Amino acid sequence: MDQLSSWMVRISLCWLLTGFVFGAMMMADSKLDGAWRIWMGPTHGHMLFVGWFLQFTLGIAFWLLPRVRTPDRPLGYRERLALGAVVLLNVGLLLRAVAEPAQRSGHDAGWTDDALIVSGIAQVVAATIFIIELWPRAAARQRRRAASTSSSATVGR
């Protein structure tokens, strides 16, 4: 597995654990101070869908989809750009995981709106980079031509 895929899978597993911890806190809401279900509801879903599921899937896609390797793309994709997308995706998700519950719990000091805007932009840019880098690798194979027309004529006799 290449470095990018390894990082994406490992980070996605960290988000999975984080999502499960917050899910447990939401289930124990009546025993904990605060309103964890209200504060963490959308964020919890985003952690699990974007942080775990989407990132895991994209990491596996970078690893398994066919590659066209060139001298300027020895891995079949631009590694630094893809790693930058991983950073953007996770920084955006982390910003949301901090700002959204703070906003929903009434601890909004004006910074949460800005953090959520930056979060959204970072995740959209990351998704765009992932699509640009994976798009050529999802191309259909070209059909092979028949060996020759004479061999097909011989088979028909």
Tens digit of each residue's pLDDT (9 = 90 or more) over 122-146: 999 999 999 999 988 887 777 667 6
Residue pair 17/71 in contact by the 8 Å Cβ criterion: no
Please name the amino acid found at residue 94: L
Instruction: Please give the share of the chain, as a percent, with pLDDT higher than 90.
Output: 48
Q: Report whether pLDDT(89) > 60.
A: yes
DSSP 27-67: HTGGGSSS-HHHHHHHHHHHIIIIIIIIHHHHHHHHHHS--
Question: Once rounded to an integer, what is the mean pLDDT over residues 13-35?
Answer: 84
Of 66, 69, 72, the closest CA to residue 134 belongs to 66
Q: How far apart are alpha carbons 60 and 6 in whole angstroms?
A: 9
For the chain, give the percent of residues with pLDDT over 70: 87
Q: Closest Cα partner for 92 from 11, 1, 13? A: 11
When the pLDDT of each residue in the chain is averaged and rounded to a whole number, the result is 85
Asked if pLDDT for residue 149 goes beyond 60, the answer is no
At which residue do the structure tokens 């004479």 appear?
150
Type of residue numbered 73: R
For the cut 60, the answer to whether the pLDDT of residue 153 exceeds it is no
**Which tens digits make up the pLDDT trace of 47-80?**
999 999 999 999 999 898 877 777 888 787 888 9
**pLDDT at residue 120 in the model:** 96
Q: What three-state secondary structure class fits 70?
A: strand
pLDDT score of 22: 87
Task: Show the CA angle centred on residue 65, arms to residues 123 and 77, nearest 5°.
Answer: 60
pLDDT tier, 156 (very low <50, low <70, confident <90, very high otherwise): low
Domain positions in the chain are: 3-139
